[in-house]
Structure 1
Amino acid sequence: MVALPDRLDTSPERLWLATFAVLTTALVGGSLLFRDLVYDRFLWQYFWGPVAADGNGVACAVNGDSGVEYIASTTSCAASEAAGEIVAYPGYTLVSEIGYIVVLLFALIGVYLLLERLDIGDSRALFYALVPFMLFGGALRTVEDAGIAALNAGVEPLIPFPWSAFIISPFIYVTVFGVTLGAIGLGVALESQGYVERYEYPTGVIGTVLLGGSVLYLAYLGATTTYATINWPVITAVLGGAAVATAVTWWLIVRFKPSINDGTGLMGLVIIWGHAIDGTANVVGLDWMPALGAGRNLVPKHPVNAAVVDITSSILPPSVLAVTGDTWPFLLIKLAAATFVVWIFEDELFEESPRYTILLLVAVLAVGLGPGTRDMLRATFGI
């Protein structure tokens, strides 16, 4: 008699697809059978509701018996929540961020299997080729922020809701992933036809063109509209501060513990820089906008950022906060976390599984550089 495991097709690709099908079926089936619990109080409240509220430029969205209502008043939102109604606010929650991390890890496994099937992705060149796409993701998200600023100014946005949902988290990750995958596919096709020596070259060029187009569009809005501007001191402060923070961190590594970067090499420098952009953009955007003549400070979009602000404010006296601000610990946390990640990626990981190691490093950079680029551009263009 043949053992059961021998009779099963345990192909990793089939197993991944089967898992995807089971999870999708469970969510769809649960939404139909237990709508209030699965859809209304989970999928809608933590994932689609925040996107809908963000896309309509309101304070919150309320899912009631009569349908979804978009509310502009924060007081009314609080009252609806106190009354036990299902309320979704723009931005992230702890639940949604955990969900995004799980989806990201699952997607990374799928991408790894795809790259392995195509026999590509084991070169560090792919890491550098994908850096423009991470910047593009942050810039594209800022295009949606510009759309909300246009709505508030009574102007039709470039991409109206619900189409703008494709460039709002979490759907923007799918959008950028699809664009990136298409660029890699085109690069592979060009390489196979002998037009280029390596597929990474056209891939990086496509990402750079997309990034440039997005930033030029935002610059156009800043130069020609009343709801956007161009704050040169802001982008100078963010890029300059990130460069200094990266240089100091790198010097400390090289001077006192060079073994930290033995495995990643220059990729480690890029990772630290990407998270320095995120940390510096938060410090500038949340604390120093008035000092730079760029208007009022921005509001933190992530629970972690808000928690750092709350903790710092509760520890330091107002006299100190007036000088230092309350977001600078976030920059230190980002630099420390990035350095730790660089340290754990040793040579052995690249030798044993180069594809998955590079993909993990891409993900690590993306979770810092993507949001950091958005925060930097939001502050730069006043949206």
Structure 2
Amino acid sequence: MATVAERLGVEPIRLWIGSVLTLLAALIGGSLAFPRTVYDGFVWHYFWGPVQADANAAVCAVRQGDTTRYLYESAACSAAAEPVAYPGYTLVSEVGYVVVLLIALSGLVFLLQRLAVGSDRGLFFSLLPFVFFGGALRVVEDVTDAAGTEGLITYPLNTLIISPIIYFTVFAVTLIALLGSIALERENLVDSYTRPLVGSGSAVLAVTLAFLLWSAVAPDGPGTFYPQVLIVILLGATASAAGTWWLLERYVPAANAGTGRIGLVVIWGHAVDGVANVVGLDWMIALGAGPNLVPKHPVNRAIVDITASTLPASVLTFTGDTWPFLVVKLVAASLVVWLFDERIFEESPQYTILLLIAILAVGLGPGTRDMLRATFGV
């Protein structure tokens, strides 16, 4: 079947650039021509407004004319006229992020093809530290919020580490590390670009974790340190992923024939997300690690609400109401891994590797954040 680019007689890279420029022109032009409808009602309401509210530690942000007000009481937010933006995600914003992600992945494929790298599976494992880094970096802003007005990173600089801007920040750091690693390889300074790439990711991750640990042990630091939470989450995620992998190998071996060890890492990454939510939302008090956290994603909230309204209270007392989220994550990750057979790797290796990294990131990234938030009490 002919691709869109082939039917139009245009090079794929030119079609991609044209599509991106068209979308940007539509958003920018619409925001200028119809600022109240396009910018205030869509761009600000679902994307930039939540970032501003989060960056200012507000309950919500309200757009009034050309100004933004920050409210710090729930009652005031409920009484405010739309558009009102709350920190966190909505279904609209999450769909928008998925669209941006797919567009970005396509652009990265063209870049990797031009550089003639990324067709081997080593790229996937080399980028793993950057996935952890993204989740850990988001917790830096949580620590800053906990520190109040005396935080080291204040508005507007802290918007760089709040979703969705943090994705661009992490992407920029990763791209610089990737290009630098490729340059080292081509100058014959290293045998493979994957080695300095892993080193770069590990370095930025180590610096970020060191800051978080300092915030917990410093005399006036805003955080605390609950190592039992970290241990329980990692053990629970590893056991869940190993059990899921064993079931696949035992009963559906074809499911992981294409991905191999990559599939196991993907399932483990989503298990971290699932277990971190179960522990953070239901078992913090039981572990002696402070109050339970609250869900920040619409899917998490929906599953918690459905479970709470379906199961009897006597059952929820022993199980909590978040465990179905872990089940959903494990099943969904397993089904996604099943889709990636060997043929897909052969037909489009760069795109397949990047897509698997993205699939891992949407689980392990938020999972790392939730795990570290619970571990450091922020």
Q: Compute the TM-score of the two structures, normalised by the length of structure 1.
A: 0.95
Cα contact 2:225–2:377 (8 A) shared by 1: yes
1:48 matched to 2:48? The reply is yes
**Paired residue for 2:224?**
229
Amino acid at match of 2:106: I
Q: Aligned runs of 1:71-150 on 2, under 5 Å?
A: 71-80=71-80, 84-150=81-147
1:352-371 alignment, distance < 5 Å: 352-371=347-366
Partner AA of 2:75 in structure 1? T
The runs of 5 or more residues in structure 2 that have no matched partner are none
- Whichever residue aligns with residue 68 of structure 1, its letter is T
Aligned: 1:285 with 2:287: no
Please list every run of 5 or more consecutive structure 1 residues that lacks an aligned counterpart in the other structure: none
Amino acid at match of 1:223: V
| Cα distance in structure 2, aligned partners of 1:33 and 1:378 | 42
Specify the alignment match of 2:336 in structure 1: 341
CA separation in 2, counterparts of 1:67 and 1:182? 36
Distance 2:205 2:62 in 1: 35
Secondary structure of 2:286 counterpart: helix
Contact 2:50 2:87 in 1 (8 A): yes
**C-alpha separation in 2, matches of 1:105 and 1:226:** 39
| RMSD (Å) for aligned C-alpha atoms | 1.4
For residues 20 and 268 of structure 1, the distance between their equivalents in structure 2, rounded to whole angstroms, comes to: 31
Distance 1:189 1:68 in 2: 44
Of 249, 253, 269 in structure 2, the residue corresponding to residue 254 of structure 1 is: 249
- Percent of residue pairs identical: 56
Within the alignment, does 1:270 sit opposite 2:268 as a pair? no
How far off its partner does 1:242 sit? 0.4
Counterpart CA distance in 2 for 1:29 and 1:185 is 33
Counterparts of 1:226 and 1:17, CA distance in 2: 46
User: What is the distance in 1 between the residues matched to 2:66 and 2:95?
Assistant: 30
Aligned-partner Cα distance in 1 for 2:310–2:82: 35
Q: CA deviation at 1:201?
A: 1.0
| 1:174 corresponds to | 168
Q: 1:214 aligns with which of 208, 211, 232?
A: 208
In the TM superposition, residue 25 of structure 1 has moved relative to its aligned partner by 1.1
TM-score (norm 2): 0.96
- The one-letter amino acid of 2:273's match is D
Summarize the alignment of residues 186-201 of structure 1 with structure 2, pairs less than 5 Å apart.
186-201=180-195
Q: After TM superposition, what 4+ stretches of structure 1 lie above 4 angstroms from structure 2?
A: none
> What's the offset of the Cα at 1:85?
2.6
Partner residue of 2:179? 185
Shift, 1:254, TM fit = 1.6
Partner-residue secondary structure (3-state), 2:150: coil
Deviation for aligned residue 1:65: 3.4
Q: Distance in 2 between matches of 1:284 and 1:201?
A: 35
